[in-house]
């Protein structure tokens, strides 16, 4: 052993120990030499008493080197933990035993080692790959000592009717197995190549070092051969014992997962979550099999350990105070549907869809909607949908989606909703991460599911021909399930208000889309907040050009119509389609995104007299998802002369948070210009909190972060915006670390947006925390300068980004002009000068001005500028690179 060639390993950690074996594959009295990395002696020499022990078990074909970051973290005096990272027998630098050691033997071997070490509780096991199974087997055999388990990509069960992953099938193939795993080092090299980013050369050499020569790789081959492919395998019963035993393991658990693993995919994570439902889970998007190399796992593990050691729940709920949760009587989201069905005249419309020709293509009365939900719920129950089942809904807003969503909620299933506007890659990532049990979709979604391997038993919306069903792997249809459940009564059951109800995915505008978990209580609170803030009640008639409100409409008792548009592409809403939808139900409320409103205004000449009359009946317009420029609102007001125009601020995690009307926007702008209200200006005024919400900010530090827990509501103090409300999300789904960051203050959600209050109590949003520029003169938030630049006649859109090292960043303005530039690059000197002067009036010094034909925007709203992408592009251009397309 040449310890000096192991980057990241303190030589003091390396030790060997001889252990008497009790394994049946060894002759009684046999001793085996184990190698391990152990910081216990080092902690003792420093006079540090460890909190407990991490028992770390590697898989195949790694060794204890995999856990070096945990040894480093455990040696920190601030949180000393003894870390014992073993090299299993026949692996790493432990003895080559010359015997075939199966799963049961390896669990027994680990017990022999811990007995020899005198290892006592508290012990937290840490495992990866097949080391995960072995560590869990040890935990089940030593319940008195185990206080927690940590798992990285592993599996404890494989369905007998499902083929092994292709990579394992290849490694097990008789023609490949011995050569690939033992004779050559191919299996090691392939495993190491899974790291993303690629492993540095010195790290690869350290991983390869114990396995130089075929004679030292026998354990690698035997490990692969010991994978139980079916019930006839000798290790199948041992694996079953571990997998079933987990259901009774009640100690805290943490799972850190790399989704890009060709072997242990998300379906194995789903199985583990089913066996350890109390586990905290974090999926590192983009990480793979060697998640301990791809990401920093030491920080979250020790954060989790600290929380459990202190017996404090890390993360938190939307409202941490249970007393606050009980203030209002809980009514499930569907509570009003039955009442509406009984109270409305037969035939009164509840939900409608518009056809491109301006006619209603389909509608359901309140009675039909209520009966349809009950029928479908009964049918879904018969095919296995039950409480806790995850059902991915890939159906456009309208009658089918409404019925399916409420039917699933009535059964206690968890609906998963991801916007098709995420694009194929983003949508696939979201759907796979949610690991749905069922997928209900239109033909296009089912085709994608078949091609891309999305999880879930597939259900079509309409009946399909037999051949088409076989091609798409569809079992049945919503129509067939409704017929199957027709006339059935759902058994009465109490709704668990705090059980998961929905996973709604964010827009993906600031990184990979995140699943946001809501309980039934929080969905109901969202309904009540919207009702009380905007006055949408039974009798309201809603044109829903925004999917969330299309689904909330029935819960509010409002008649809802979906206009003829592609809801995943907001700019497809035309003024004519809006007017026809409004006329169809005598609409009183319209909800549309800013991008949709921009196209409505652009196509306003197409509205005829009847259309204008219908739009004249609209009393309330809501637009959210991105800031809405005042000039656009003024143009919308001409189309909807009687409507009160509101632009609520919110996010997938809390919809809505604040509300403001056009008149209030104008008043705030006037006060900002006059300087009569402290704090007015420098951002977008989004108004005051909605019903039941509280807001605060955590002041920004000089490095652009929002540290600490002290929050403020003082006028003019810029910080990260916090929100507390009954309708704030429960958690980020399988993103435990992200949830910890967002809920560091119990009961509050950290939005990731930055802003400030003015003296009138209004909130002004200044941008995203991730987009704050740390210039030499101080922190610069982007929105105020962008607004000043956009007031120039020739500028259509502006974005402010930082270039260079943190603390010394240069401020760069990227503009899209009314007459588009043909090529991206430095702006003309005259324009650049005007842009700089405009930004300076907002207190921001701009170092460079670049122009682009079009600003890159986010996927869903088509209105949020992707400043992170622009920053990277500007850095490239200013460093002398060819401009290209941002």
- Dump the DSSP string for 146-157: EEEEEEES--S-
Flag whether the pTM goes above 0.75: yes
Supply the pLDDT for residue 315.
Answer: 33
Whether 322 has a pLDDT exceeding 50, the answer reads no
Supply the pLDDT for residue 870.
Answer: 84
Three-state SS at 549: helix
Where do you find CATH 2.30.38.10 in the chain? 656-726+742-767
Q: How many CA atoms lie within 13 A of 490 on its CB side?
A: 24
Q: Are 645 and 621 in contact (CB under 8 A)?
A: yes
Residue with tokens 């096991």: 125
φ, ψ for residue 356, nearest 5 deg: -60, -25
Superfamily of domain 772-878: ANL, C-terminal domain (3.30.300.30)
SS3 content of the chain, % helix, strand, coil (to 5): 40, 20, 40
Supply the pLDDT for residue 857.
Answer: 64
Kindly give the interhelix angle for 520-534 and 547-556, rounded to the nearest 10 degrees: 80
The rounded distance, in Å, linking the Cα atoms of 515 and 519 is 13
Supply the pLDDT for residue 509.
Answer: 65
Supply the pLDDT for residue 90.
Answer: 98
Supply the pLDDT for residue 881.
Answer: 82
Give CA angle at 331 (325, 336), nearest 5°: 155
Supply the pLDDT for residue 324.
Answer: 43
Whether 858 has a pLDDT exceeding 60, the answer reads no
> CATH for 656-726+742-767, among 2.60.120.10, 2.30.38.10, 1.10.1740.10, 2.60.120.1440?
2.30.38.10
Supply the pLDDT for residue 327.
Answer: 46
Q: Are 662 and 633 in contact (CB under 8 A)?
A: yes
How do residues 376-398 score in pLDDT, each as one tens digit?
Answer: 999 999 999 999 999 999 999 99
Residue 369, token pair as written in the block = 């909607």
The rounded distance, in Å, linking the Cα atoms of 739 and 283 is 12
Q: Are 621 and 640 in contact (CB under 8 A)?
A: yes
Q: Is 623 exposed, middle or buried (0-12, 13-18, 19+ CB in 10 A)?
A: buried
Percentage of the residues of the chain whose pLDDT score is greater than 70: 96
Three-state SS at 791: coil
Distances (CA, A) of 842 to 102, 673, 718, 774: 70, 11, 15, 16
Residue 39, token pair as written in the block = 């910081």
Supply the pLDDT for residue 338.
Answer: 83
How do residues 141-193 score in pLDDT, each as one tens digit?
Answer: 999 999 999 999 999 998 776 778 888 888 888 888 899 999 999 999 999 99
Q: Are 553 and 351 in contact (CB under 8 A)?
A: yes
**Across 751-777, average pLDDT:** 94
- Please state whether beta strands 825-826 and 253-257 pair in parallel, antiparallel, or not at all (unpaired): unpaired
The rounded distance, in Å, linking the Cα atoms of 879 and 881 is 6
Whether 352 has a pLDDT exceeding 60, the answer reads yes
Supply the pLDDT for residue 249.
Answer: 95
Three-state SS at 536: coil
**Across 579-589, average pLDDT:** 97
Whether 863 has a pLDDT exceeding 60, the answer reads no
Provide the H-helix boundaries in 617-765. Answer: 630-639, 662-674, 736-742
Whether 326 has a pLDDT exceeding 50, the answer reads no
Q: Are 730 and 791 in contact (CB under 8 A)?
A: no
**Across 772-790, average pLDDT:** 92
The rounded distance, in Å, linking the Cα atoms of 499 and 497 is 6
Name every residue whose Cβ is closer than 8 Å to that of residue 877 and which is 6 or more positions away in sequence.
824, 825, 826, 850, 883
Q: How many of the other CB atoms lie within 10 Å of CB of 702? A: 9
Computed over every residue of the chain, the mean pLDDT equals: 92
How do residues 195-213 score in pLDDT, each as one tens digit?
Answer: 999 999 999 999 999 999 9
Helices (H) and strands (E) in the chain — how many of each? 32, 36
Higher pLDDT among residues 566 and 540, named by residue: 540
Name every residue whose Cβ is closer than 8 Å to that of residue 854 and which is 6 or more positions away in sequence.
816, 820
Please compute Rg for the chain using Cα positions.
Answer: 30
Whether 876 has a pLDDT exceeding 70, the answer reads yes
Distances (CA, A) of 639 to 277, 592, 608, 644, 753: 52, 14, 11, 12, 32
How do residues 599-620 score in pLDDT, each as one tens digit?
Answer: 999 999 999 999 999 999 999 9
Where do you find CATH 3.30.300.30 in the chain? 772-878
Architecture of domain 3-309: 3-Layer(aba) Sandwich (3.40)
Q: Is 446 left (phi over 0), alpha (psi -120 to 50) or beta?
A: alpha
Where do you find CATH 3.40.50.1820 in the chain? 3-309
How do residues 473-501 score in pLDDT, each as one tens digit?
Answer: 999 999 999 999 998 888 777 789 999 99
Q: Are 218 and 96 in contact (CB under 8 A)?
A: yes
Q: What is the DSSP letter of 619?
A: -
User: Where are the strands (E) in 179-265, listed by range?
Assistant: 253-257
Peptide bond into 70 cis (omega under 30): no
Supply the pLDDT for residue 309.
Answer: 72
Nearest-10 Cα torsion for 592, 594, 595, 600:
60
**Which residues are registered as beta bridge partners of 55?**
84, 125
Supply the pLDDT for residue 854.
Answer: 84
Supply the pLDDT for residue 353.
Answer: 95
H or E element that contains 36: strand 31-38
Q: Are 783 and 842 in contact (CB under 8 A)?
A: no
Q: Is 29 exposed, middle or buried (0-12, 13-18, 19+ CB in 10 A)?
A: exposed
Whether 880 has a pLDDT exceeding 70, the answer reads yes
Distances (CA, A) of 235 to 60, 201, 254, 496: 16, 36, 26, 40
Distances (CA, A) of 809 to 454, 770, 783, 874, 881: 42, 14, 17, 12, 18
């Amino acid at each position: 052993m040449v310890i000096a060639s192991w980057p990241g390993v303190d030589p003091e950690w390396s030790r060997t120990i001889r252990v008497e074996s009790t394994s049946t594959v060894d002759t009684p009295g046999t001793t085996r030499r184990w190698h391990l990395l152990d910081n216990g002696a080092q902690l003792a020499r420093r006079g540090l008493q460890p909190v407990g022990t991490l028992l770390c078990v590697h898989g195949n074909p790694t060794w204890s080197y995999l856990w070096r970051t945990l040894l480093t973290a455990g040696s920190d005096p601030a949180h000393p933990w003894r870390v014992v990272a073993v090299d299993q027998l026949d692996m790493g630098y432990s003895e080559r035993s010359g015997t075939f050691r199966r799963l049961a033997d390896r669990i027994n071997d680990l017990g022999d080692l811990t007995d020899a070490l005198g290892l006592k509780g508290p012990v937290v096991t840490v495992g990866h790959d097949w080391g995960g199974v072995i560590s869990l087997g040890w935990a089940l055999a030593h319940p008195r000592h185990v206080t927690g388990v940590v798992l990285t990509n592993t599996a404890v069960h494989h369905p007998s009717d499902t083929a092994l992953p292709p990579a394992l099938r290849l490694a097990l193939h008789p023609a490949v197995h011995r050569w690939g795993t033992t004779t050559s080092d191919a299996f090691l090299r392939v495993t190491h190549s899974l790291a993303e980013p690629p492993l540095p050369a010195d790290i690869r050499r350290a991983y390869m070092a114990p396995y130089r020569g075929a004679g030292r790789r026998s354990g690698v081959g035997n490990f692969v051969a010991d994978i139980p492919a079916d019930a006839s395998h000798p290790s199948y019963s041992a694996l079953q014992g571990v997998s079933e035993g987990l259901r009774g393991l009640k100690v805290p658990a943490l799972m850190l997962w790399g989704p890009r693993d060709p072997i242990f995919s998300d379906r194995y994570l789903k199985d583990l979550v089913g066996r350890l439902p109390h586990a905290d889970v974090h999926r590192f998007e983009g990480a793979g099999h060697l998640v301990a190399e791809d990401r920093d796992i030491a920080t979250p593990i020790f954060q989790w350990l600290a929380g459990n050691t202190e017996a404090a729940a890390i993360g938190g709920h939307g409202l941490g105070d249970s007393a606050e949760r009980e203030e209002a009587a809980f009514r499930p989201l569907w509570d009003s549907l039955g009442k509406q069905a009984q109270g409305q005249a037969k035939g009164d419309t509840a939900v409608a869809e518009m056809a491109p020709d301006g006619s209603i293509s389909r509608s359901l009365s309140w009675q039909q909607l209520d009966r349809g939900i009950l029928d479908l719920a009964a049918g879904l129950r018969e095919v296995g949908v039950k409480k806790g089942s995850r059902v991915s809904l890939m159906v456009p807003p309208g009658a089918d989606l409404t019925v399916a969503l409420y039917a699933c909620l009535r059964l206690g299933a968890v609906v998963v909703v991801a916007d098709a506007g995420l694009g194929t890659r983003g949508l696939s990532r979201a759907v796979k991460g949610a690991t749905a049990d069922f997928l209900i979709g239109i033909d296009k979604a089912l085709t994608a599911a078949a091609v891309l391997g999305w999880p879930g038993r597939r259900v079509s919306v309409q009946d399909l021909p037999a051949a088409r069903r076989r091609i798409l792997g569809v079992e049945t249809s919503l129509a067939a399930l409704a017929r199957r459940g027709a006339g059935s009564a759902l058994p009465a059951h109490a709704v668990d208000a705090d059980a998961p109800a929905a996973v709604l995915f964010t827009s993906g505008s600031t990184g990979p889309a995140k699943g946001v978990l809501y309980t039934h209580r929080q969905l109901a609170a969202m309904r009540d907040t919207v009702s009380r803030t905007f006055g949408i009640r039974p009798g309201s008639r809603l044109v829903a050009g925004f999917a969330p409100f299309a689904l909330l409409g029935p819960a509010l008792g409002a008649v809802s119509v979906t206009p003829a548009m592609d809801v995943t592409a907001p700019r497809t809403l035309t003024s004519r389609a809006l007017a026809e939808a409004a006329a169809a139900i005598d609409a009183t409320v319209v909800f549309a995104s800013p991008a949709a409103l921009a196209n409505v205004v652009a196509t306003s000449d197409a509205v005829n007299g009847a259309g204008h009359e219908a739009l004249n009946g609209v009393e309330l317009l809501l637009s959210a998802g991105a800031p809405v420029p005042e000039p656009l609102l003024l143009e919308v007001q001409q189309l909807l002369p009687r409507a009160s125009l509101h632009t609520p601020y919110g996010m997938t995690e809390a919809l809505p948070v604040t509300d403001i009307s056009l008149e209030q926007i104008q008043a705030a702008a006037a006060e900002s210009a006059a300087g009569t209200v402290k704090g007015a200006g420098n951002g977008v005024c989004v108004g005051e909190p909605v019903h039941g919400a509280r807001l605060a900010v955590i002041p920004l530090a000089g490095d652009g972060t929002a540290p600490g827990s002290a929050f403020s509501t003082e006028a003019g103090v810029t910080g990260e915006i916090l929100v507390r409300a009954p309708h704030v999300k429960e958690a980020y789904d399988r993103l435990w670390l992200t949830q910890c960051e967002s809920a560091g203050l119990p009961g509050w959600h950290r939005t990731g947006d930055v802003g400030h209050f003015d003296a009138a109590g209004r909130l002004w949003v200044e941008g995203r925390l991730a987009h704050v520029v740390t210039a030499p003169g101080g922190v610069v938030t982007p929105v105020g300068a962008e607004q000043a630049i956009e007031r120039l006649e020739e500028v259509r859109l502006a974005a402010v980004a930082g270039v260079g090292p943190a603390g010394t960043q240069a401020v760069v303005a990227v503009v899209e002009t009314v007459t588009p530039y043909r090529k991206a690059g430095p702006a003309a000197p005259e324009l650049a000068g005007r842009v700089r002067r405009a930004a300076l009036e907002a207190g921001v010094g701009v170092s460079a001005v670049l122009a682009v034909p079009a600003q890159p925007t986010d996927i869903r709203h088509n209105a949020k500028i992707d400043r992170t992408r622009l920053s990277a592009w500007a850095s490239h251009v200013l460093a002398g690179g060819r401009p290209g397309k941002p």
